[in-house]
Structure 1
Amino acid sequence: MEFCPTCGNMLLYELPYLDRPARFFCFACPYVCNIHNRVKIKRKQRLVKKEIEPIISPDDMKNAPKTEATCPYCGHGEAAFKEFQTRSADEPATLFYRCLNEKCQKQWRED
Structure 2
Amino acid sequence: MPLVGSLLFCKDCGNLLARKPSTTSTIHCHICDASNNNIWPTYVVTQSKPGAFPSSLENKRSAGGIQEIDWAAAADTWPTTSQPCPECNHPEMFFREMQLRSADEGSTVFYRCAKCSHMYKADN
Q: Given the two structures, how large is their TM-score scaled by the length of structure 2?
A: 0.41
Structure with greater helix percent:
2
